[in-house]
Structure 1
C-alpha cells in the first residue's frame, strides 16, 4: 500500500524533512513579502541619491586647476581657461545641463567647458560614479 507511511523511524524522519511543514512555508512567504516591500523604497532612494550625488569640477585630485574651453584640466591662470567651480554640482543640475540647461553660477562659455569636462570623466576620477549613474535609464 503506497498510501501508508513508512514504519521505520528513520524513513519517517526523511519523509518529514522532504515535505515542508505549513509553518515553514508561511515563514518563507513572510520573508519573501518583506523583501518585496523593502526593495521598492530602496529603488526610490537610489533614484533620489543619483539626483543628489555631487560632481566636483575639477575633481579633488586636481583642485585649484582651471578648465579650458574643451573641458581639459590645465594649470591655474591659463589664458582662456575657467577657474574651478565654486562648489560641486548636484546630479540633478548636471542632468539638466546635459539636456541643454545651464549649470548654476556659470556663464555660457564656462558652462560649456564644465559640461565638456563632466562628459569626459573616467573611472577613478571624482564624480565619475555620479555621472555614470545619470546615464543609466530609469524604469
Structure 2
C-alpha cells in the first residue's frame, strides 16, 4: 500500500515553486489541473489539484480552506536544513528547538497555509 496525500488548491504554480525550490521536491507528473510531486529520495509523494475542475467528481472539487492540515518531513540533519532555509530567507514559523518527547524540529508554512514540521528524531528525555 502506498499513500499520496492530496490538497485541492488554486495555487498550483506557487505550490510547485515552493516545494521544488525550498524543499527540493521534484515533479512526477503535471498537467493544467494536477501536480504530483515527490521527495528527493522518491520515498513519498504529494499531489495538488485545482478546485472545481470539470474532470473531477464533486468529492474532489472543494478548495482546501487553509486550516486543519500539517505535514511532517523527517530529515537526517534538521540543523543543516534549517540553515539552508534561513539563507534562502524562508520565513520560519517555529524556530528550531528540542522537544522532551524526542524531536529536534522547526516549522515553515507553504503557500496553501499548510504547516510543515521539519524534524530529526532524537531520544526522548528521561
TM-score, normalised relative to structure 2:
0.24
TM-score, normalised relative to structure 1:
0.23
Larger helix fraction of residues:
1
- Give 1 or 2 for the bigger CA radius of gyration: 1
